[in-house]
Amino acid sequence: MQQHIHEGRCDCGHIHYRMIDQPLIVHACHCRACQRQTGSTNAVNVLIEKHKVELLSGEVTEQIVPTPTGYGQQITRCAKCKTVVWSEYLIFAERRGAPVRFIRAGTLDDPGAFPPDVHIFTSTRQPHLNLSGDVPVYPEFYDIKEVWSAESYERFRKMKRENGRRLITTTDGSSVSI
């Protein structure tokens, strides 16, 4: 397990966090929102189960901004320096039933540990970027089942099972999960 722990921080060092498993997948996202939010050509997002990101110290602020899907994106920043450390696209939790956190790769202590597995929303990529390598390119989004590794897809299914589970109290007072 130890080798799976990666730590990260905001620019001022107030926020310190760690991820306790390998990513599900790493996106290079070339959508216009990521370009504007990062002021760059694209965001590199390390996707991992929400509960596998631990805030070790510091205070965050959260803000929900609209997205084209209508579900919104919750952006988490350092309360002091306002660096974005991660975000969540609420479509994952609310429609897909799987709360996934998108860590901004540049905030990791070793950002080069997770190169992109896939380029997405390349229909709006900056034309000077050469994406002719081996990494798959999708003009918009993709089918998770086709693109994620079998192991990651199983983790996705597990998240959905756990997220969808409800505790109910039966007439004899005991709790069961359904």
In DSSP notation, the chain reads -GGG-EEEE-SSS--EEEE-S--SEEEEE--HHHHHHHTSS-EEEEEEEGGGEEEEE--EEEEEE--TTSS-EEEEEETTT--EEEEEEHHHHHTSS--EEEEEGGGBSSGGGS--SEEE-GGG--TT----SSS-B-SS---HHHHS-HHHHHHHHHHHHHHH--EEE-TTS-EEE-
Does 28 engage in binding with Zn ion (CB under 5 A)? no
Q: Which of 18, 50, 80, 96 binds Zn ion (CB under 5 A)?
A: 80
Of 6, 8, 10, 17, the residue at the interface with Zn ion (CB under 5 A) is 10
- 52/100 Cα distance (integer angstroms): 9
Residue 31 or 98 having the CB closest to Zn ion: 31
Q: How far is the CB of 177 from Zn ion (least distance, A)?
A: 35
Among 19, 25, 31, 108, binds Zn ion (CB under 5 A): 31
Q: Which of residues 81-100 bind Zn ion (CB under 5 A)?
A: 81
Q: Are 93 and 163 in contact (CB under 8 A)?
A: yes
**Minimum Å distance from CB 168 to Zn ion?**
38
**Nearest to Zn ion of 31, 53 (CB atom):** 31
Q: Which is nearer to Zn ion, 4 or 32 (CB)?
A: 32
Minimum CB–partner distance for residue 16 and Zn ion (Å):
10
Q: Work out whether 5 is an interface residue with Zn ion (CB under 5 A).
A: no
34 scored as a contact of Zn ion (CB under 5 A): yes
| Number of residues located near Zn ion, criterion CB under 5 A | 9
Distance of CA 11 to the CA centre of its chain: 19
Residues that bind Zn ion (CB under 5 A): 10, 12, 14, 29, 31, 34, 78, 80-81
